[in-house]
Every structure is written in structure tokens, then in C-alpha cells.
Amino acid sequence: MSPQVPAHELEAAANQVRASATGPAEADDTEAKKGGYSRESHASHPGVSVVKRGKIFYLKWRTDFAKGQYRYRWERLDSKNRRAAEGEAKRKSEELGASKKNWMSQRTTALYRLPVQEGLSAYLEHLRGERRERDERFVTRAVAGAEQYLERFTEFLAQRNIQRCERLTSEDLHEFRKILGGARLKILDPETQTYKEGSTLLSTVSINRILDGVRSALRWMVKRRYLFIGRDEIGEALAHYPITRASEPRILSTVDLLRLLKKLCEHDLARFKSSRTDKNAYHQRRQSTTARPRFRPLAPFVVVSLLTGARPGEVEIMTGSDVRLEYQTIALRDSKRGRMRVLPLHDSPILNELVSELVKRAGNNPIIGRVKLKHIVELGSKAGIANLTRQVLRRTCVAHVASGSTDSEYLLTSRFGHSTDVSVAHYRQALHGVRERGKTVEAWLGIESELRSVLTELGYLKPQLKKTDSGKRKYERGRSARGREV
């Protein structure tokens, strides 16, 4: 039978685990990791499990109970049957429970009097270690999001002069939620070290995300005895604000799209009256042919958003290396939630030609670049469309593709990046007559011929000869050739 482990040795092992930067030094478990059938039991001994591998029984328990990290120790038993092994597990469980109780009694008062900022920093360190074990790629993004959510809570604590954990109560959390709902917090200026009134209005979704981040941090601190506030009290004090969603997304009709294309063509063709090389045009009151464009072109962004349904940020960072013309796809590498998404080009010939021309002009650089929201709003107001945003272009494409194509919800979600519930509830609506218009995205939108003419006039597409003109020219060439022969 194995000897009992004293409590001071367990405490020394836990301190060694907490002091190690790369993780705790685990015991030699080569015997426990040998091949063979294994069976783990969690009967009546919390924190300790019995593992049988082959004909040998082992005890498995977690040593670093202070941080709650999943680092385990192994101990080989001399027991010959499972009943004796369960008895050893029960003894080890009682021993670890007493050691943990002793550790908590010695450190509860010290942790309770620590600054709140130190507890939040410990939570971020724990989050870094936990995320690093799961996936190294999302460590920076996850921790940066948690720091951003806790930033406003830290500002609230500084405003109310709450420095130690013992002064934080549930009433303060209620007040933080109330102030956050109004989006009026005093923000500390790092240069002048003075407080300035915040004027940024937050959406309901952003407020709920901040509440989720603060709730997770405080519950972690309660579990580690930094705070003595009930978990239910934290949940009630930092409850979500109700979100009112529209039953259907706002989309543009074919008439709106035709007006938008007309104003888009006028916007991109607008030029200054004269140039340095042609100053006579100004005095003669005529348009110079060498004058620079008056505005930055918006046609690539608007057309690509309408035909792909990509998010505005995804369209802006789209580069030439992301476009694969041989496979008829566009790979969105930095999409939402860090997942790569592939957009097809086979169901939009105009988009295929436009993207090919943009790649030739830009190379591996961003083929479109950043477009400000105010420019899209101004373009919409000129076309008679109030409050036109970049998201409206995306939703218009998604709604028409969902109504015109025969793809399943799974293909729609993988193409546009929505969840299945959002696709079914919002975009799988019956737009009458869309499927009968054709088999391409521009045909489903009802702007196929108009869009091609606008892009041809702007120089993005090559002009197409009509069949009648082509046949007439061939006839004239053949007639002239016959005349020369005679």
C-alpha cells in the first residue's frame, strides 16, 4: 500500500506549479502511459479518479487547485482489485480536501484584500494559459477582446474609487450595468491623467458583450476567493439588455438598384473642368479630356458587395492573391471569427470579368481598398435611397441569392458566413419572380444588362459586339474580298 502524502508536500508541489512559467513539472507517469486498456472511475471521491491500465491501478488527481488548471499527478497502487483501489482513492480525496481547506483558510483573507485590478490581471493570465493549450492562433485575439471588455469596468472602478476586492458589492454591479446602458462613462486620458466624459454610443449587442466579459471575470474571481459575491447575484446584476431585431432585413428592390447604378456611373465619371496640361478648357468652359477624376471610384466596392454578399471589411482587404480564377473562387482568409470562407464566381460572369480586371490593375495589393461609410450614404441620398449602408448591399445580395438559387441552408451559411438560424429566419424569404429571371446573381438582382453597360462605360469591362453588327461586318469583309478577286 502506498504511503500517505503529507499536506506540506502537496503545498510545496502546488507552489512549484504556480511558480513555473511553462507549466507544472508532472510526476513520472511513463508507467501510467503504457499501452493497454484503460478505465477511469469517478465514484464517491471528488478530485481523485481510479485508472486501470492493463492489470495495474493508478490514482489520478489534480494538484494545482489554486489556479484550477488541469494538471494531473499519477500514483501507482499496489492494490489487486478495484475495491481496494477505491478505498485508496477515497483516502486520497479526503487528504486533498483537507489540504485545500487549509490552503483556503490561510489565503482567503489575503486574497480578499487584494486590489481588484490584480484579480483581473490574474484572470487574463489564466485566460492566456487556457487558450494557449487549446489553440495558439486565437490566443491574441481572445485576450485582446477580454481586455477590451474589462477596460470599461476598470474605468468604472476608478471613477467610484473601488480599489480593493472587499469594497466591490452587487449594488456596484447594478450601477455599472445602468451606466453602461447609457454609454456615459468617464474615460481616463492617459496623457493628462484627467477624466473626460465619454460620448461613444454603444449598441445593445456591444453592451451585452461587455457584460458577458465582466461576468466571466468576476465569476472566476469568486471561484478563486477574490470576491465574496454570489454567482447568482453577479448574473442578476449584469443581466443582458433585451435586443429588438427586425423581422426582415432591409433589402433594395430592382428599381432602387437601377437608380443606384445610374448615380454610381455619374459619380465615377465626374471630373474636374481642366488640368495643368489643358488650361484652355477652363477659359473655353468645356470639359477637359485630361482632367483628373473628381471623386474616388465607388463602383468596384458597390458591385463586388452586390454580387458576392461579402462583409464590408472582407471586401476592403480582398487582395489579388485571394482570387483564384482557375478555380473560380475567392478565398476570404480574415473573415469573421477567424474562419476562412470561399466565395464562388461561377454563377456571376460579370463578377468574374470585373475581378479579373481589378487583379490586373492591383496585383497582390488590395484590389478595392477602404471605402468610407459617408460616401455610400451620400451616394444613396443622390439616388433617393435613405440611410444606405454597406450592410444593405450585402443583405440585398444574400436575400436574392437565397430566393433565386436552389442551394441548401448549409451551402448558404458556408457561402455568406451566417448561422443556419439566421439564414432560415431572415434570408430564406419568398421574393416573387427572382428564380425565373435567370441563373446568375446579376439576373436575380434584375440589373444584368444595365450593370454591364455601366461597367463598360467606366472601363472595367470590354465592350461586347452585337451579333447583328458582327454578322454584318463579316458579310462586308467577304463581299470586299470577292470584289478584289474579280
pLDDT in tens, 209-221: 889 889 988 888 8
Residue 68 has pLDDT above 60, yes or no: no
Predicted confidence band of residue 143 (pLDDT cuts 50, 70, 90)? confident
Region 45-66 average pLDDT: 74
Distance of CA 408 to the CA centre of its chain: 24
Which of 17-26, 185-194, 241-250, 326-335 shows the lowest mean pLDDT across its residues?
Answer: 17-26
Residue 180 has pLDDT above 90, yes or no: no
List, in order of start, the domains of the chain with CATH numbers. Answer: 7-112 (no CATH), 116-237 (1.10.150), 254-458 (1.10.443.10)
pLDDT in tens, 376-398: 999 999 999 988 999 899 989 98
The predicted structure's pLDDT at residue 444: 92
| Residue % of the chain over a pLDDT of 90 | 18
Residue 30 has pLDDT above 70, yes or no: no
Region 136-165 average pLDDT: 76
Region 252-270 average pLDDT: 92
Residue 169 has pLDDT above 90, yes or no: no
Which of 342-346, 353-357, 400-404, 430-434 shows the lowest mean pLDDT across its residues?
Answer: 430-434
Region 438-449 average pLDDT: 92
- pLDDT winner (highest mean) among 72-76, 305-309, 429-433: 305-309
The residue assigned the cell 465626374 is 270
Region 390-418 average pLDDT: 87
The predicted structure's pLDDT at residue 35: 40
The predicted structure's pLDDT at residue 126: 82
The predicted structure's pLDDT at residue 26: 38
The predicted structure's pLDDT at residue 5: 44
Residue 362 has pLDDT above 70, yes or no: yes
Region 404-431 average pLDDT: 77
In terms of pLDDT, which residue wins out, 438 or 333?
A: 438
| Residue % of the chain over a pLDDT of 70 | 69
Evaluate whether 366 touches 317 at the Cβ level (below 8 Å). yes
The predicted structure's pLDDT at residue 302: 94
Residue 410 has pLDDT above 80, yes or no: yes
Region 127-150 average pLDDT: 66
Predicted confidence band of residue 89 (pLDDT cuts 50, 70, 90)? confident
Contacts of 172 (CB under 8 A, 6+ apart): 160, 162
Considering the entire predicted model, what is its pTM?
0.53
The predicted structure's pLDDT at residue 115: 81
> Across the chain, what does the average pLDDT equal?
76
Map the chain to HEC letters: CCCCCCHHHHHHHHHHHHHCCCCCCCCCCCCCCCCCCEEEECCCCCCEEEEEECCEEEEEEECCCCCCCCCEEEEECCCCCHHHHHHHHHHHHHHHHHHHHHHHHHHHHHHHCCEHHHHHHHHHHHHHHHHHHHCHHHHHHHHHHHHHHHHHHHHHHHHHCCCEHHHCCHHHHHHHHHHHHHCCCEEECCCCCCEEECCCCCCHHHHHHHHHHHHHHHHHHHHCCCCCCCHHHHHHHCCCCCCCCCCCCCCCCHHHHHHHHHHHHHHHHCECCCECCECHHHHCCCCCCCCCECCCCCHHHHHHHHHHCCCHHHHHCCEHHHEECCCCEEEECCCHHHCCEEEECCCCHHHHHHHHHHHHHHCCCECCCCCCHHHHHHHHHHCCCCCCCHHHHHHHHHHHHHHHCCCCHHHHHHHHCCCHHHHHHHHCCCCCCCHHHCCCHHHHHCCHHHHHHHHHHHCCCCCCCCHHHHHHHHHHHHHHHHHHHC
The predicted structure's pLDDT at residue 199: 41
